[in-house]
Amino acid sequence: MLGFAQTALTYIIPFLFVLTLVVTVHELGHFLVAKWFGVAIDRFAIGFGKPIFQRVDRSGVEWRIGWIPLGGYVRFSGDDNAASVPDQDDLDHLRTAIVRHEGPQALGKYYHFKPLWQRACIAAAGPMANFLLAIFLFALLLGTVGEVTHPAKVTGVAPGGAAAAAGFLPGDVVTKTDGRTIRSFEDLERYVIVRANVPIQFEIERGGRTIDLTAKPALVRDVDPTGGTQEVGRLGISSQVTAADVVRTRYNPAEAVVVGARKTWEVLDTTVYYLGRLVTGQVSAEQLGGPIRIAQASGAVAQAGAEGAPDFGFMLLGAFVSLLGLAAVLSVSIGFMNLLPIPVLDGGHLLFYAYEAVARRPLGAKVQAAGYRVGLALLLGFMLFATWNDLQRLRVFHFLGGLLS
């Protein structure tokens, strides 16, 4: 019992907090924009399965929390098609039923009879809400806790490493990578870690001079904060700085929003770049992670934030602040993934709307149904593969094999 309580505090509660925050804001994006355009909504749900909470408000919207907290959805009135984009015949039947029961004036409140640009805005609102959440969370942390950084100063170069081969020396300060400004050693690490075996152009300062170097980070298997292993790019340099080198910066509200937007863009840029390498086979698909890895990361981040706190209250505060940072990063990833042109995701709806804009009519029902099934299969396959990778990282099958042998 004590072990379960410890696991819940360490992994389950942080995971549910982060995931629920990101999913709720995503669905609120759809909901609020739909409300703005006057769309009738039947249900706003967080989680799937049987409800553990449900309430119908005065506008007729059912607010529901399901017992499986792995997603959410907004159900529009008349939205009984699995792909949420009915073909012309479905629209005709739906229009006839609405006119018969509610009159022709009621058509304007149904999602499927809204102008195409409004439906596209509603579909895109979820991912956009995720990006705005990331900017808000980054800005909140930058304006309150601040940002702790230290210069990208090289104090050690590993013999035989990529940096040594490129000509790095102790005392070098990295100022740019591939033309991008490097503001801290953390920036440098984040840039290098996803570029194993990719030549990088470095601009460094050495003894008052500017020198250009080219290095190709080596692919190494490293232990991540969750206790598992991951393949990352490493230069073979270290940076040990004194307390005088560490800078804590707190931003005013305007600056915090600007820097928060920049950090959101950097996370998005890194996500797109890494996914591109994954699709082209430059990075092993074994690096993909699913809910288990997110739960592990949530637990590790919460523990790191709570370390060194003088009492339980400060432990909770430290964990909470750290989880907000993780939620910001995860929100960017969720926003981007939902924009992929897969029929069950928001990007798939936008793809259907693009076809409708060109063809002047919705895609046929059979094509939509086939696209929905393929998209669902792809999504479920991705989730299963990612979960398999998580279990492999935890050596679950090795452990079970030892029990059965």
Q: Report the pLDDT averaged over residues 38-59.
A: 90
Min mean pLDDT across 56-65, 143-152, 362-371 is at: 362-371
Q: What is the pLDDT of residue 241?
A: 76
Using the predicted structure, report yes or no on whether residue 197 has a pLDDT greater than 70.
yes
Min mean pLDDT across 2-11, 196-205, 361-370 is at: 2-11
Which of 69, 90, 79, 71 has the alpha carbon at shortest distance from 43? 79
> What amino acid is encoded at 300 in this protein?
A
- The structure tokens listed for 172 are 């070098």
| CB-based contact 142:259 (threshold 8 Å) | yes
Confidence of residue 87 (pLDDT cuts 50, 70, 90): low
| CB-based contact 352:249 (threshold 8 Å) | no
Q: For residue 244, count CB atoms less than 10 angstroms from its CB and return exposed for 0-12, middle for 13-18, buried for 19 or more.
A: exposed
Using the predicted structure, report yes or no on whether residue 101 has a pLDDT greater than 80.
no
Which of 80, 134, 152 has the alpha carbon at shortest distance from 112? 80
Residues 6 or more apart whose CB falls under 8 angstroms from that of 95 comprise 107, 113
Q: How far is CA 11 from the centre of its chain?
A: 18
Q: Report the pLDDT averaged over residues 169-186.
A: 90
Q: For residue range 14-42, what is the model confidence (pLDDT) as tens digits?
A: 888 888 899 999 999 999 999 999 999 98
Q: How far apart are CA 163 and CA 318, in angstroms?
A: 35
Domain boundaries, the chain: 1-21+118-146+250-405, 149-249
Q: What is the pLDDT of residue 366?
A: 73
Our answer to whether residue 27 is catalytic in this structure is: yes
CATH class of 149-249: mainly beta
| CB-based contact 134:328 (threshold 8 Å) | yes
Using the predicted structure, report yes or no on whether residue 401 has a pLDDT greater than 50.
no
Using the predicted structure, report yes or no on whether residue 320 has a pLDDT greater than 90.
no
Using the predicted structure, report yes or no on whether residue 114 has a pLDDT greater than 70.
yes
Residues 6 or more apart whose CB falls under 8 angstroms from that of 213 comprise 166, 167, 168, 201, 202, 204
Which of 80, 56, 52 has the alpha carbon at shortest distance from 44? 56
Q: Using the 8-state DSSP alphabet, how is residue 11 labeled? A: I
| CB-based contact 248:144 (threshold 8 Å) | no
Q: Is the dihedral of CA 239, 242, 243, 249 positive or negative?
A: negative
Q: Report the pLDDT averaged over residues 97-115.
A: 79
Task: Give the angle 264-287-194 at the CA atoms, nearest 5°.
Answer: 50
Which of 81, 79, 35 has the alpha carbon at shortest distance from 61? 35
Half-sphere exposure of 58 (CA within 13 A, CB side): 0
Q: Report the pLDDT averaged over residues 153-163.
A: 90
The one catalytic residue in 27, 147, 203, 356 is: 27
Q: Report the pLDDT averaged over residues 189-198.
A: 88
Count the Cβ atoms, other than its own, within 10 Å of residue 211: 14
Q: Using the 8-state DSSP alphabet, how is residue 208 labeled? A: T
Which of 178, 225, 221 has the alpha carbon at shortest distance from 199? 178
Confidence of residue 184 (pLDDT cuts 50, 70, 90): confident
Q: What is the pLDDT of residue 118?
A: 94
Using the predicted structure, report yes or no on whether residue 282 has a pLDDT greater than 80.
no
Q: What is the pLDDT of residue 306?
A: 63
Helix (H, G, I), strand (E, B) or coil at 232: strand
Q: How far apart are CA 48 and CA 58, in angstroms?
A: 23
Q: What is the pLDDT of residue 4?
A: 42
- Sheet with 180-181: list strands edge to edge: 180-181, 173-177, 200-206, 209-215
Q: For residue range 130-143, what is the model confidence (pLDDT) as tens digits?
A: 999 999 999 999 99
Helical spans, DSSP H, in 145-252: 162-166, 185-193
Confidence of residue 263 (pLDDT cuts 50, 70, 90): very high
Q: Report the pLDDT averaged over residues 35-63.
A: 90
Using the predicted structure, report yes or no on whether residue 273 has a pLDDT greater than 90.
no
Q: Report the pLDDT averaged over residues 52-79.
A: 87
Q: Helix, strand, coil % (nearest 5) of the chain? A: 55, 20, 25
Q: Report the pLDDT averaged over residues 398-402.
A: 41
Using the predicted structure, report yes or no on whether residue 382 has a pLDDT greater than 70.
no
Q: What is the pLDDT of residue 3?
A: 46
Using the predicted structure, report yes or no on whether residue 312 has a pLDDT greater than 80.
no
